[in-house]
Chain A
Amino acid sequence: MNALLWTLLDLLLAAMLLGLGWAAVATRDLKRGVALFIAFGLLLALAWARLRAPDLALAEAAIGAGLAGALLLAALRDEPRHEKLAAAHSRAGLWTLNLLSVLLAVVVAWALLCALEMGEGLRLAGAVTDHIGQSGVSNPVTAVLLNFRAYDTLLELAVILSAVLGVLALGPARRGYGLPGPVLGGLIRWLVPLLIVTAGYLLWVGAHAPGGAFQAGATLAAAAVLLRLGGVDRAGLPAAAVSRWLLAAGLLVFLGVGLSLAGLGYGFLQYPAGLAGGLILVIESAATLSIAVALALAYVGGWSRSGSTQPDSTQGGSH
């Protein structure tokens, strides 16, 4: 009975995902599309949780639904007149595109079925389990991201950096928001410290349970988003010169550790036995700061026009 209930729930989840995905793409109203997209992200996080991938669920909820949604809404704010999408394609063109997409989906699904029927060939999950004892952490996801495939993560940090540098190169920050009403202001004053503590917890717990630098960084950035919504133009970010260092910190520490180990006679990013856990925590802490600053800067949209008139705390709720 219980299993039947879960199956029904899963089917409902899958159907709602398809429906929300379609609705988000099909709507002509951009704001509505973004709202549907955020809901889609939250349900997708649930789907990941059902697939027993809590790390992915956390990341999807924090980044896919939360920050991506905030970024999209912030982008829409400056385009009030172009909210309605023009009908770019003729009806016939649209249906051709849909047909082609469905065809592609069928071919990929068929190939995937063929692939899964090929039986147990090589699989890496076993190798990860076998070597996790030497990785310095007990959470397999963190072991893969920060040890076995740490080089991927290093380059991912560079990807985030290049994205935010691209945003910064486009010009100064967008204008901020007005002071919030008492309810939002009070909420922000409660939530921001809570988010900062949560980020610290996620960073720390990543060594043996779902969590880690990306989730922690996204949570910290969420605090910055709230601050900006609360009327703090700079979203709690330090001055540009300091922010530049914080942006670079994650990669500097990551590369520094990797190259120092190479200099000491180990391989690049080959952690010595016993030190792996500590080095991973050092790298993740720096990466958390860089990711948070990068996401916050992307949300603010550039360096602030002026640094002088910023209030330094959320005073919005005080009157």
Chain B
Amino acid sequence: MNNLLIWPVALPLIGSLLALVWPRRADWAGIGASVAALAVAGLVAADVMRHDSLELAIGGWTPGLGIALRADGLSAALLLMSSLVALATAIYATNYFTDAHKRADFWPLWLLLITALHALLLSGDLFNIYVTLELLGLAAVALAALGRTRAALQAAVRYLTVGLLGSLAFLTGVGLVYAAYGTLDMSTLAGQVRAEPAAWVALALMTSGLLIKSALFPMHFWLPSAHANAPAPVSAALSALVVKAAFYLVLRLWLDVFDVALGPAAAGMLGVLGAFAVIWGSWKAFRAERLKLLAAYSTVAQIGYLFVFLPVLLASAPGAARDLVFGALVLFALTHGFAKSAFFLGAGVVLQRAGHDRIAELGGTARALPVTTFGLALAGIALIGLPPSGTFLAKWQLMASAIEVGQWLWIPVIAAGSLLAGAYVFRVLGHAFGPGEGVGPALAWARQELPALLLAVVATAVLGLGAVHVWSFVVPGLAIGGIQP
């Protein structure tokens, strides 16, 4: 029996418990668990490459009676991304918390957050997914409140309330699914669902819960304050990973489970909301006065793009055309994960060194923090979607496929969003490279600056140049333009 799939969940959980009982050694537990989790995520990815998909029926019970863990190209790619971002952020965090109490509070919760993410990505059971959503939500709220400032606490309470509302909607949908089809196992369910009222209402409830959690416009109102007021490593994980987990579930439900119950209008509606998110989020990011708030609004916009992909994806003919869009969607999600975590970590360095993150007063930052500024610039390139970043290729494919299926409407939205993104990124860089007192003498702050730079390099260069491999990993057997990777 192959138990590989339990380890990405078990290892961070063990790390969390060790960090809880040995608060003084918590750093080591955190780094050790993150390295080990990354290693098993690599093993899972390698196995998925060999077998296309993996399954572990926990306890040996048939899925349905028991719970199955599953991995395919999509979940393995996101698992690898999340464990890599988690490790880089963990290294950053060892040098971030100066207060011993906060450090002891941070590690167990942080590792529980990673546990929840990995459990969610690997779960094949709807109720189990609800449990992972609860764990993810509670750990995220507790981490967002770690700053203990008034603003952070208020944002955290709002985050908690909104998150619970989302969970409740999701759970109601799950209850309805069980009443109608008598199983919660997603692959069994996929064969049972038909286009009928119970399926529609259940999907609508689950999707609305997830839309709240993924902060799709106009349900994004809780995100900017929660993400901007959290400690830097927490902001990075919330923006890069946690909102994406909810989007991943939307994708799973719409593509794998409820695909027969859907009409094209439903995906179009999500696409329109996504388009509003792109424009509104980018505009608010452009108008933001603080670096972290800018990054948070940029997340609202980038989540919008992910939802714009949906109508194009569902309108594309199954087969190579759809696989191309799907690969581009995953590439976009991965690139944003790396770029946004890099951006938040870099913003955290600026905030700690300068004592503020007011964009207008960033003058001299480039001289004082050259590595961080370079990292912010690289992450910015990926946020705009300039070559050679992964987002460039993903947006290119999105526009090409949108034209192919006759959905011209999205082209001006993507163009306007990218222009606005260019404006907000260059506004930051313009100030950072501008004259000013700076924040002190040039200093390399290896444990904090290098993880951010590394993540930005992955987003801009590695994913962009290696995009072909992402495509072939996510949709096995796809040949792109005759190139066989």
Instruction: Please give the distance in Å from A79's CB to the nearest CB on chain B.
Output: 13
The answer to whether B183 has its CB under 8 Å from any CB of chain A is yes
User: Is A131 part of the binding interface, using a Cβ–Cβ cutoff of 8 Å?
Assistant: yes
B36 at interface (Cβ–Cβ under 8 A)?
no
Interface residue from A152, A166, A244, A255 paired with B14 (Cβ < 8 Å) = A255
In the complex, B353 has a CB within 8 A of chain A? no
> Contact at A108–B201, with CB atoms within 8 Å?
yes
Which chain B residues border A170 with CB–CB below 8 Å? 145, 148
**B277 close to A (CB within 8 Å):** no
Least CB separation from B160: chain A residue = A166
- Given contacts A115-B198, A155-B132, A248-B17, A122 and B59 within 8 Å (CB-CB): no
Does B181 make an interface contact (CB < 8 A)?
A: yes
- Those of A154-183 within 8 Å (CB) of chain B: 155-156, 158-159, 161-163, 165-166, 168-171
Tell me if B64 and A149 are in contact (CB < 8 A): no
Q: Is the CB of A168 within 8 A of B105?
A: yes
B134 interface hit (Cβ, 8 Å): yes
A239 and B202 alpha carbons, distance in the complex (Å):
47
Contact A271 B59 (CB under 8 A): yes
Residues of B within 8 Å of A169, CB to CB, are: 102, 105, 109, 142, 145-146
Contact call B112/A158, Cβ cutoff below 8 A: yes
The answer on a CB contact under 8 Å between B119 and A155 is yes
Contact A165 B21 (CB under 8 A): no
Q: Which residues of B contact A150 (CB under 8 A)?
A: 58-59
Residues of chain A contacted by B132 (CB below 8 angstroms): 155
Residues of B within 8 A of A107 (CB): 201
Of B172-180, B383-391, B419-427, B429-437, which stretch is located at the interface? B172-180
Q: Is A86 an interface residue (CB 8 A)?
A: no
In the complex, whether B205 has a CB less than 8 A from a CB of chain A is: yes
Name the residue on B nearest A271 (C-beta). Answer: B59
Asked if B192 and A122 make an inter-chain contact with CB atoms under 8 angstroms apart, the answer reads yes
Cα A159 to Cα B140 in complex, Å, equals: 11
Which listed residue (A122, A255, A267) contacts B183, Cβ 8 A? A122
Instruction: Find out whether the CB atom of A268 lies under 8 angstroms from the CB atom of B198.
Output: no
The answer to whether the Cβ of B66 comes within 8 Å of any Cβ in the partner chain is yes
Is residue A148 contacting chain B, with contact meaning CB distance below 8 A? yes
Q: Which residues of B contact A114 (CB under 8 A)?
A: 180, 196-198
Instruction: Scan A110-130; emit 1 where CB is below 8 A from any B CB, else 0.
Output: 111011101001111001100
Residues of B within 8 A of A110 (CB): 197, 201
Interface residues on A, range: 35 or more
A1–chain B nearest beta-carbon distance, Å: 33
Residues of B within 8 A of A255 (CB): 10, 13-14, 17
B182 touches A (CB below 8 Å): yes
Which of B10, B116, B198 neighbours the largest number of chain A CB atoms within 10 Å of its CB?
B198
Docked Cα-Cα span, A289 to B66, in Å, equals 26
Q: How far is the CA of A275 from the CA of B60 in the complex (A)?
A: 15
- Report which of B23, B59, B172, B198 forms a contact with A270, defined as CB distance below 8 A: B59
Which B32-59 residues sit within 8 Å CB-CB of chain A?
Answer: 56-59
A124, A158, A170, A251 — most chain B CB neighbours (10 Å): A158
Q: Contact: A152 with B20, CB < 8 Å?
A: no
Mark A50-84 against chain B: 1 for CB-CB distance below 8 A, else 0.
00000000000000000000000000000000000
CB distance from B31 to the nearest CB of A (A): 19
Q: Which residues of B contact A9 (CB under 8 A)?
A: none
Chain A CB count within 10 A is highest, among B17, B116, B119, for B17
Contacts of B102 in A (CB 8 A): 169
Q: How far is the CB of A25 from chain B (nearest CB, A)?
A: 15
A 76-114 binary contact with B (CB < 8 Å = 1; else 0): 000000000000000000000000000000011011101
CB neighbours (8 Å) of A22 from chain B are none
Give the contacts of B47-83 with A (CB-CB under 8 A).
56-62, 64-67
Kindly report which residue of chain B lies nearest to residue A122, judged by CB atoms. B182
* CB of B1 to closest CB in A, whole Å: 4
7 shortest A-B CB distances, which residue pairs?
A: A166-B142, A111-B201, A122-B182, A115-B180, A115-B198, A169-B105, A270-B60
Taking A108-B205, A155-B128, A155-B135 as known contacts, 14 extra A-B pairs with beta carbons closer than 8 A to each other, sorted by chain A number, are A112-B179, A114-B196, A122-B181, A122-B182, A148-B66, A149-B128, A152-B127, A162-B135, A162-B139, A165-B109, A165-B112, A169-B146, A248-B17, A269-B59
Q: Interface of A with B (CB < 8 Å)?
A: 107-108, 110-112, 114-116, 118, 121-124, 127-128, 131, 147-152, 155-156, 158-159, 161-163, 165-166, 168-171, 244-245, 247-248, 251-252, 255, 258-259, 262, 265-271
A selection of 18 A-B contacts at a CB cut-off of 8 Å is A111-B201, A112-B198, A115-B176, A122-B188, A131-B65, A147-B61, A149-B66, A152-B128, A155-B116, A158-B112, A158-B115, A162-B109, A165-B20, A168-B105, A169-B105, A265-B1, A267-B58, A270-B59
